[in-house]
Amino acid sequence: MKSYEFGLWVFMLSAFLGFQLIRGVSPLLHTPLMSLTNAISAIAVVGAILITGAPDAPTLSKVLGFIAVLASTINVVSGYLITDRMLKMFKKREPEKK
C-alpha cells in the first residue's frame, strides 16, 4: 500500500510543478515547448506499446494500453501539425507576382 501512496504523491507533485512550469513560459517559447512535449508523448507511445504487447498481460492492461497508444499517437500527430502551422506563421511570404 505504501507504493500506491508514494505514486499518488509523486503524481500530485509532478502535476503541480508541471502546471507552474507551463504557466511561467513566455509566449515566445511555446513552440519549442510544444515540440518537447511531443517527444515526451512519443515516449508514452513506446511504453504503451510495450504494455499492450506483453504476452502475459491481463485483458484490462491490454485494453488500457491500447487506449494509451491511441491517445498518445493522436497527441503526437496533432502536436506536430500544430507546431508546423505555428512555424509557418513566422515565415516571410513571397510577394505575389503580377
Average pLDDT, the chain: 81
Distance of alpha carbon 91 from the chain centroid: 26
- Reported as a single tens digit per residue, the pLDDT across 30-71 is 667 766 777 777 888 888 888 888 889 899 988 988 998 998
Number of separate domains in the chain = 1
pLDDT recorded at residue 98: 66
In a domain, 33, yes or no: yes
- Whether the full predicted model's pTM is greater than 0.95, yes or no, is no
Per-residue CA distances from 4 to 13, 15, 23, 52 (Å)? 14, 16, 29, 22
Rounded to whole angstroms, the Cα distance separating 96 from 98 reads 6
4 vs 16, residue with greater confidence: 16
All three cell numbers of 15, joined, read 502535476
In a domain, 95, yes or no: no
In a domain, 8, yes or no: no
Domain that holds residue 66: 27-90
pLDDT recorded at residue 13: 92
Q: Outline where DSSP puts E strands in the chain.
A: none
In a domain, 40, yes or no: yes
Cβ–Cβ under 8 Å, residues 82 and 33 = no
Tell me what percent of the residues of the chain surpass a pLDDT of 90: 5
